[in-house]
Amino acid sequence: MYRTYYLSGKFNFYLDQHSNSDTAQYIDFFIGKLNYIRSNYDGAIFRFNRVINNYFVEKYKLKAYFSLAEVYEKTKNKAKAIEIYEYLKLYYPDTEQGKMAIKRLEHLYSF
C-alpha cells in the first residue's frame, strides 16, 4: 500500500484533489511533523510548503509557517528562519505563532 499510494505520487494527487479540506491539510501538516521528528528535514520542508501553498483553507497554514521556520533553524539556515519569523511577526503578531515568532527572533538576534 505504501508503494502504491505514497511513493507513486497518488497520495499527493489525492490530497491535491481535496484542497478545500482541512482534513487533507492536516494530513500534510502531520506528515511534515513526523518527518521533522524523524530528522527528515527535506521531507518536512516539502510537506510544510504544501500546507502553505496547496490549500485554500487556512486552518494549519500559520502552524506550517512556524514549523517551517523551526526546520530552517534546526538545519542552520538562520536567514530563512528569520525571514519566516519576520513574516509571522509582521502579518500575524497577535496569533500564537506570531507571538512565538517574536520570541524566536529575539533569541536568534541575540547571537
pLDDT in tens, the chain (111 residues): 556 666 678 888 888 898 899 999 999 999 999 999 999 999 999 999 999 999 998 999 999 999 999 999 999 999 999 999 999 999 999 999 999 999 999 999 997
Q: Give the sign of the dihedral formed by CA 39, CA 76, CA 54, CA 7.
A: negative
With beta carbons less than 8 A apart as the criterion, state whether 82 and 88 touch: no
Place of cell 479540506: 21
Which of 100, 79, 78 minimizes the C-alpha distance to 89? 100
CA distance 37 to 101: 20
CA distance 87 to 1: 39
CA distance 89 to 84: 9
